Amino acid sequence: MSEEILVVIPTIIKHDKRSRLLNQLSRDELVNTVLVVDNGNCFEIPGKKQSEWAKVEHVKPGCNLNWLHSNNYGAAIALEREVPFVCFLNDDVRLSEPFFKQMLKTFQDNPLAGVVVPQYTGKFGDRALSRATPGNFQPRDSETQVDWVDGTCMLISRETVQTVGLLDPHFRAPGWGSDVDYSHRVRESGRELYVSHRAMLWHHNDHGGLSAVEIYGNRRKWVSKGMEQAKADLESKYGPKWRKMLPMPPHAYIMGY
């Protein structure tokens, strides 16, 4: 099986971080396709980039699919094309290099790996957080098995998608909490979750993405709304004892975390 990856990038607002990311992904020999799901009519492939960005496919769904449905769309395309891996990736991130080569080593070394995430800057996730900067990041040839992962960047094998399915549309747009739900379902299927110490991601905002802050007005508003919505949807799916059922620390989805 070739080690090729379809990268799904949901996007909704114009900003300059996306072009830098597309430049990096276009150079990565392991990237088969970069599917930019344009939910806000905010993206075009510049004429001067047509050749350099040959792997980039621009999808205009005609409505806002949001994060959850955009990623499900990309995963379905990956299955249809029989691409071995799909990666859900935010559009405002910077990646260490060689990013996917390092991430795939975890799959090679751990046959039960279902989802692998990098280390990253932020405030959400199980043992993935790091203070490393682009100038001082030192990759380590190891990984840590974890109980749950964050949706900023999720590299998922085709076998996992075939077994576990897609992100659950039970979660309201844009999908707060569905990454934790997916983590639980992956572990219930007998597969494992890992944080790779070989790869690093730098997120524009410690708490969520650039688009969330702009759409909700400020960081505090979207954190509050997102966490309340996630708690409500997780409780709706798993009942009032959802915190005991899911592999999360007791302070998760609480303001200030």
Residue 182 within any structural domain of the chain: yes
254 assigned to some structural domain: no
Tokens of 114: 């279902």
Domain that holds residue 91: 5-245
Range with the lowest mean pLDDT among 11-15, 53-57, 98-102, 217-221? 217-221
Residue at 181 is within a domain: yes
Does residue 251 fall inside a structural domain?
Answer: no
pLDDT score at 201:
96
pLDDT of 1 higher than 60: no
Q: Which of 125-129, 135-139, 207-211, 246-250 has the highest mean pLDDT?
A: 135-139
Greater confidence (12 vs 143) lies with: 143
Higher pLDDT, 248 or 184: 184
Give pLDDT, residue 190: 97
Per the prediction, the chain carries an average pLDDT of 90
- pLDDT higher than threshold 80 for residue 216: no
Residue 238 forms part of a structural domain: yes
Number of domains within the chain: 1
- Asked if residue 256 is part of any domain, the answer here is no
Mean pLDDT computed over 76-104: 96
Whole-model pTM above 0.85? yes
Calculate mean pLDDT across residues 181-187.
Answer: 96
Residue 83 lies in a domain: yes
Does residue 126 lie within any of the structural domains?
Answer: yes
Q: What is the CATH number of the domain that holds 25?
A: 3.90.550.60
* pLDDT, position 182: 97
